[in-house]
């Protein structure tokens, strides 16, 4: 029986690249989206044409009832969920003095609470089956901190703490929990950065390049595969050497 992966925020960017890679490896793929329905449907159609068992499923991950309904739909379609990729997230650049309470709450709702909702919704099934992989997406700024991104950095640091603690708790259930903390990646999110800022980040990166979504997807897939069965609680940062 094919394994099933649920990827949040999978209609674009790193999430879409990850969905394509899992599909190419023969997994059933559940593509979560919130507002990008057309993109999610197009990606699902693309993967289905290649022979993948795939579904696009809408849910606002900050809403626990929507998350629970999403997980029930995926389980009804494919059976158990063998891997969860908590990819959905938002970013924002603001001076700390300009961050509003609403900005702060939204940042944590999507990047932290959404991860918590999705993980809790799938983990009981993983515990029952005594197998599972959970991969959480953080950022280099969750490791090193980013100027003008205090709320983003704090939320992504919380993802790291969540990963380490949950890995310890779920280890005896044979569930591996790991975190991927990408550097500067060529995505729509980073395309909003000023060109001179991107150029500076590229210059500061020892490998001298901006990462691609596939660079991150390859690592996510490795952590979901059986090749990573002895790896848990780790924070792995594909960043070209920008943060060492």
Active site residues: 152
The two three-digit tokens of residue 135, written as one number: 């991969």
Q: By C-alpha distance, which of 24, 2, 21, 1 is closest to 10?
A: 21
* CA angle (39, 119, 93) in 5-degree steps: 60
Distance CA(180)–CA(202), nearest Å, equals: 20
Rounded CA separation 161/25 (Å): 30
Q: At what angle do helices 114-129 and 150-170 cross, to 10 degrees?
A: 10
In what helix (H) or strand (E) does residue 119 lie, and over which residues does it extend? Answer: helix 114-129
Q: What angle do CA 146, 150, 156 make, to 5 degrees?
A: 80
8-state DSSP, 168:
H
């Amino acid at each position: 029986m094919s394994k099933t992966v649920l990827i949040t925020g999978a209609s674009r960017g790193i999430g879409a690249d990850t969905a394509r890679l899992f599909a190419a490896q023969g997994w059933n793929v559940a593509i979560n989206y919130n507002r990008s329905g057309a993109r999610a449907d197009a990606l699902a159609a693309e993967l289905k044409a290649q022979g993948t068992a795939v579904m696009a499923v809408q849910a606002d991950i900050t809403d626990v009832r929507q998350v629970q309904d999403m997980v029930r739909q995926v389980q009804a379609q494919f059976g158990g969920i063998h891997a969860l990729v908590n990819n959905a997230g938002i970013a924002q650049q603001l001076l700390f003095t300009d961050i509003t309470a609403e900005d702060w709450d939204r940042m944590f709702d999507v990047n932290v609470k959404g991860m918590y909702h999705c993980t809790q919704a799938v983990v009981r099934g993983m515990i029952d089956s005594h197998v599972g992989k959970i991969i959480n997406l953080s950022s280099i700024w969750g490791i090193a901190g980013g100027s003008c991104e205090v709320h983003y950095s704090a939320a992504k640091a919380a993802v790291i703490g969540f990963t380490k603690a949950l890995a310890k708790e779920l280890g005896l259930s044979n569930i591996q929990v790991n975190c991927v903390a990408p550097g500067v990646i060529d995505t729509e999110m980073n395309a909003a950065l000023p060109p001179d800022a991107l150029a500076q980040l590229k210059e500061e990166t020892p490998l001298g390049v901006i990462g691609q979504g596939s660079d991150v997807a390859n690592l996510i897939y490795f952590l979901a595969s059986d090749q990573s069965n002895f790896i848990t609680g780790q924070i792995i940062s594909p960043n070209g050497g920008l943060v060492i």
